[in-house]
A and B are shown apart, each in its own frame.
Chain A
């Protein structure tokens, strides 16, 4: 049995999404900019997808949503726009992001920093979330943007974006949030918390990777960095558009928001079962309080076992999980989430996480629990940590 529990990185494409995309992959279709019947039918499907995005986010009439290629492009374009529009002209010189923002945001911020812009990284507190109060320490009249992701993809912690958005609104600073890992897991209503920008990629909501979208409040001035717009839908990002992806993303959002409540209820039950079973094992602790987490994610610190060895053993047992420190290519994270949470440094290399999706079944969770227990027993039989804390508990 092969169990995939790395759904915060990539999800399988939903068969219904694939069904919606199929005509654009298998059959001839027309360009959005074409003047013929096929162009017209493409436009019709495209506008339907766009409408689903408006509905899914509950976006107001006077706002813009456009398609992009995903999170990395969203964040890069946003930062480059800020750079050329506000920082080069000397109007603003200061940027605030979360220390747990994604790689694109971090690297982009690093570039802005090298160009003389001051970048502040909001720390996460012991609960794993950004404390809205900490924003006051960094906000100045020269702040060009505040960007905090809605959900941390590793720990699953939900940031209080409503309060952060409220503070930003009071100080008249644009607020951006990355909703990639929140979509389909928690309800999102942009009219309720009113961010200036909200962006997401499709890979975490059962749409294919390589498609994403950006929501813009009417007052925000977005500077495109990909040129070549031929029609109003491409004015923020040059085309031709990935039409199949756009239609798929529309369908995925529709599915995610329609079935959010009861699907997440099921996922939460399965996740809780996994969490309850594993947390009783000695030296296994879930990180981030249950109530502050998205329903599909649980991250454990396992005393005395190294992440990569755990992943290797789990993988041999047919369970595909993730860890916070270890990545291929010999890269390690600069500051893993355990450090951000202020945990014992001995747990830094000992995390293993499970992210469920709506396709995860009960049998799969049973198999995961069984495999995890076997893995724990086997690896602990020759772990150096054995004599230390957990046996004394």
Chain B
């Protein structure tokens, strides 16, 4: 452990202001009744996800507009730790006025971004991230149930936390996880009895263990990476202007656009120019982003920060 890890405070005291506010004053908690939905000219959908024996349960109440299919009101009840309360409350806020397709697009990055106090500091310490993935899975499950889909049951890996194989593989892929501890941070699998972590820890033989799944999934990821790489594998500085444009577009599509779309905004790339050792990226905000006060401060810093981190520190973003 390093000094900063040793000095890190891992519990309530370290909750950020926004997360703490959401825990102490949740606004969207509670139940929606059939009558309330009727008044809104909407159908009530109730969906349960998780079980108390696994430590977390979330019940969504969505009033879905009969005409445009948007969720006009959203409430929830829950069983779970304070951090789940904060995230569920934020998710309920985000779900409102969205169609099922739009709800499906809510991802870890966008939800986490909305829980942050400022664009640079992560909202949650690593060992609390499981609640975020739980809320996202509950949303996905509610959308699927609403459409009448019944996703194939995946075999359970961790019985204590109720985590199945598909979920473990998905988090390894989505967050590029390298260790079993990270899987536990993101899902809580392996946090309780520890028997699912590696073969041999359990008295009876297990079909899947976290360490085996990690190894297998990482191998698959390596293979995929070697077969398909759209962006050329060379330093950003040595790329041609066209390649730079492609790389920037890829990063924006992958890491940034979702974040803006969540707020009803978007952006487009106008031009990429080389300016001495700097690379200047000219962009235009679209939708709700144009004219937003944060577009020239917080959001801009966030976009620039991500591009700098992923590509090159000498990149500058200039909104027009």
Contact = CB atoms under 8 A, between A and B. Distances in A.
Tell me which of B23, B85, B192, B193 has the highest count of chain A C-beta atoms within 10 A of its own C-beta. B192
Interface string A312-323: 100110000000
Main secondary structure of the interface of A (DSSP, over half): loop
B280 interface: no
Interface in A184-243: none
Interface string B47-79: 010011101111100000000000000001111
A283 to B, nearest CB: 12
A2 to B, nearest CB: 16
A36 B29 CA distance: 71
Contacts of B12: 312, 315
Contacts, number: 78
B298 interface: no
B194 interface: yes
Contacts of A316: 24
Given A304-B52, A346-B53, A350-B52, A330 B78 contact: no
Contacts of A136: none
Interface in A58-85: none
A335 B30 CA distance: 32
Given A306-B79, A312-B82, A316-B24, A329 B10 contact: yes
Contact of B80 (A309, A315, A345, A348): A309
A169 B52 CA distance: 45
Nearest to B130: A330
A334 B194 contact: yes
Nearest to A349: B55
A340 interface: no
A381 B26 CA distance: 12
B159 to A, nearest CB: 10
Main secondary structure of the interface of B (DSSP, over half): mixed
Nearest to B51: A346
Contacts of A386: 77
A29 B245 CA distance: 75
Contacts of B193: 334-335
Contacts of B267: none
B122 to A, nearest CB: 15
Interface in B69-121: 76-82, 85
B258 interface: no
Contacts of A348: 52-53, 55
Contacts of A349: 52-53, 55, 79
B251 interface: no
Contacts of B77: 382-384, 386
A330 B188 CA distance: 9
Given A306-B55, A328-B11, A350-B52, A383 B79 contact: yes
Interface residues of B, number: 35
A345 B53 contact: yes
Contact of A330 (B29, B184, B194): B184
Nearest to A329: B10
B194 A385 contact: no
A384 B82 contact: no
A384 B80 CA distance: 10
Contact of A334 (B10, B55, B76, B192): B192
Contact of A309 (B48, B85, B127): B85
Contacts of A345: 53
A308 interface: yes
A171 interface: no
Contacts of A383: 77-79
Contacts of B10: 328-330
A384 B81 CA distance: 13
A57 interface: no
B191 interface: yes
A382 B82 CA distance: 13
Interface residues of A, number: 29
Contact of A385 (B56, B76, B79, B85): B79
B266 interface: no
Contacts of B11: 328-329
Contact of B127 (A312, A325, A330, A333): A330
A326 to B, nearest CB: 7
A390 interface: no
Interface string B161-182: 0000000000000000000000
Tell me which of A308, A333, A350 has the highest count of chain B C-beta atoms within 10 A of its own C-beta. A308
A359 to B, nearest CB: 25
A335 B203 CA distance: 15
Contacts of B212: none
A330 B127 CA distance: 6
Interface string A288-306: 0000000000000000111
A381 B30 contact: yes
A306 to B, nearest CB: 5
A138 interface: no
B181 to A, nearest CB: 9
B185 interface: yes
Nearest to A309: B82
Contacts of A334: 192-194
Nearest to B128: A330
B59 A384 contact: yes
A306 B78 CA distance: 9
A390 B59 CA distance: 18
Nearest to B125: A330
Nearest to B29: A382
A156 B58 CA distance: 33
Nearest to B13: A328
Given A308-B82, A309-B80, A328-B11, A384 B58 contact: yes
Nearest to B161: A332
A349 B50 CA distance: 13
Contacts of A329: 10-11, 127
Tell me which of A346, A349, A384 has the highest count of chain B C-beta atoms within 10 A of its own C-beta. A384
A345 B159 CA distance: 12
Given A334-B192, A384-B52, 8 more contacts: A304-B79, A306-B81, A315-B12, A326-B81, A330-B127, A346-B53, A383-B79, A384-B78
20 contacts: A305-B79, A306-B52, A308-B81, A309-B82, A325-B55, A326-B81, A329-B10, A330-B126, A331-B191, A334-B193, A334-B194, A348-B53, A349-B52, A349-B79, A381-B29, A381-B30, A382-B29, A382-B30, A384-B48, A384-B52
